[in-house]
Amino acid sequence: MRKEWLRILVLLVIIIVLFPWTVLRWYNQSEVRTEDIAIRVLMPDGQVKSLDLEDYLVGVVAAEMPAEFEEEALKAQAIAARTYAAQRISQRSGNEAGYDVDTTVNSQVWISEDKMKEKWNLLSYWRYHSKIEKAVTSTKDQVLVAGGQYIDAFFHSSTGRKPTERAEDVWSSSRPYLQNVAAGEEKPTRYVKTYTFTPSDLYQKVGHSSTAKAFTESDFVVLSETAAGRAKVVRVLGKNYTGAQIRTLLGLASTDMEITITPQQIKITTYGNGHAVGMSQYGANDLAKAGKTCEEILQHYYPGTQLLNLTKA
């Protein structure tokens, strides 16, 4: 009996001595694995912070995609975001700004853990943070490439009722992997918004110098459409704009629009949310619900691309 207690005591001593060392060793190895790639982020306060790439991506996915979405959709978002970040890091040598990305839509939106807690409340934070972290770590180092280069992995909230856009129809620069593909959304009318502009509203928003007057049918005309059927060139108050320009000037959700004109107002109803190029986030979620993997989702929205590890990209 005494020998048995002695054996137990020795075992306990070994556990007490070795356990902290084992944890520390695991922690240090983990640090080596996750800190091999860093990204320089311009914070809202103007400071530039160097963050571990994978940690940074948790903040991006948390900001860019609803945490309630399916795991495969979150994984697809993580890969798209990592691809953009890797592209920016690869351009560092010619970048005099001193940072790779900021935390706004000018790069890709990023939020801190404190902001996540505000966004979700403390109770949901642990569940959602863990879910997003899993999506990031399970796709660690994975990026999308085409022709030996990181792709422009554009994404948007909702394509709506029409196919996605070709890059050249929105920004005049073609990408073979950014083509018209099915939106993939089960509810194409999820985002429908109506905007109303009086003559003074519209004149002010487009910077028209003359005095506002009653509208005529020729004051807002879609002159041409993209291959997907959205506004490509729009004539507003006698001046031509691209669909993307007028969307920005008027604060419209989309360039898929229906227009009603009376002398007193112009009413514009839009379908979808975003530029409609690349991956539809709601489409990705609906495809995930239908059983598609993140790899299948990415191939759908970025056809002809390859999924590689950063070390091989």
pLDDT tens-digit series, residues 22-35: 433 333 333 333 34
Any domain includes 172:
yes
Any domain includes 4:
no
| Same domain membership, residue 92 and residue 137 | yes
pLDDT at 117: 96
Contact by Cβ (8 Å): 160, 276: yes
Any domain includes 31:
no
Whether this prediction's pTM lies above 0.75 is answered by: yes
Any domain includes 203:
yes
Tens of pLDDT, residues 117-151: 999 998 899 999 999 999 999 999 999 999 999 99
Tens of pLDDT, residues 213-242: 999 999 999 999 999 999 999 999 999 999
Q: Which token pair is 137?
A: 């770590």
| Same domain membership, residue 201 and residue 123 | no
Give, as one character, the DSSP assignment of residue 181. Answer: -
| CA 140/CA 30 separation, integer angstroms | 13
* Structural domains in the chain (count): 2
Interval 183-189 mean pLDDT:
95
| Same domain membership, residue 246 and residue 204 | yes
Q: Measured between alpha carbons, how far is residue 273 from residues 157, 188, 268, 277 in Å?
A: 6, 11, 14, 11
Tens of pLDDT, residues 276-285: 999 999 999 9
Any domain includes 123:
yes
Sheet with 220-225, edge to edge strand ranges: 220-225, 231-236, 239-242
Q: Which H or E element spans position 41?
A: strand 38-42
Any domain includes 15:
no
Tens of pLDDT, residues 76-102: 999 999 999 999 999 887 677 899 999
| Same domain membership, residue 202 and residue 95 | no
The boundaries of the domain holding residue 129 are 38-153+278-309
pLDDT at 1: 53
Any domain includes 25:
no
Q: What type of residue sits at position 133?
A: E
